[in-house]
Amino acid sequence: MSLLGKIDKARIPEHITIIMDGNGRWAKARGLERVEGHKQGITALREVVEAASKVSVKYLTVYAFSTENWDRPSEEVDALMELIVYAVAKETPSLIENGVRVASIGDLSRLPVKTRQSLQDCMDKTAPGNGLTLVLALSYSSRWELTEAARAIARDVKNGLLSQESITEKQLSRYLTTYTLPDPDLLIRTGGEKRISNFLLWQLAYSELYFTDTFWPDFGEEELYAAIFDYQQRERRFGKTSEQVKSK
């Protein structure tokens, strides 16, 4: 029986973010090249996007490639960049059909021209979508993002566009790449590791964390529902007491 029937449709997390980990280990366990794990990971992402749309998740942000990933063997990086071009082009018609809007965060200037062009084409074509917003974190890391925000704030203070006294948490958030997105309600990490790995450090301050041993290529619709069901069993207090939350 599907877990879909157990999920409270009135308490679906608005924004889910996923660290898609375990592609390489999934491939290694099967005697395959690492890139085969990444290929299978695309199939998993397609299924998760469809499942998230089915339960009316509004935002899904996936950690596709970190700034640290540039230090991986060049053969794997090159294969990943080519795979991104292929996957984005292949999936664009389906995304349009299902009303999924694609956005991206990260230092996209580091991506190969072909990869950037393919991604931009997909974002342009899916822009009218009014369903799920799929955010691809590419060449992204939270420390990079916060460093860039600090530089931008310093420039604006120097140029008289911003005063030191006006810098608040809300103001700082406007300098982040995610300023148009709500903070994530739920972070899912696959692959058995239990760390955040330099991902959305500011935005995840009060997110619920869900870790699973399932490698990303094996993560699908039911696994997403299991994470949402687990999320719905928790009490989100945001620093308040349980009594205050229940009273509200």
Q: What's the rounded Cα separation, in Å, for the pair 45 and 100?
A: 13
Say which of 8, 21, 71, 78 is annotated catalytic: 21
- Residue 21 DSSP one-character state: -
- Enter the tokens of residue 68: 């640290």
Is 69 a catalytic site residue? yes
21 is catalytic: yes
Marked catalytic residue, from 69, 156, 218, 230? 69
Encode 226-240: b = buried (16+ Cβ within 10 Å), e = exposed.
bbbeebbeeeeeeee
- CA separation for the pair 144, 140 (Å, rounded): 7
Q: Is the dihedral of CA 195, 144, 40, 95 positive or negative?
A: positive
State the helix-helix crossing angle for 34-54 and 74-97, rounded to 10 degrees. 20
Can you list the alpha helix ranges (DSSP code H) found in the chain? 23-29, 34-54, 74-97, 113-126, 142-158, 169-173, 221-232, 242-247
What amino acid positions are annotated as catalytic residues? 21, 69
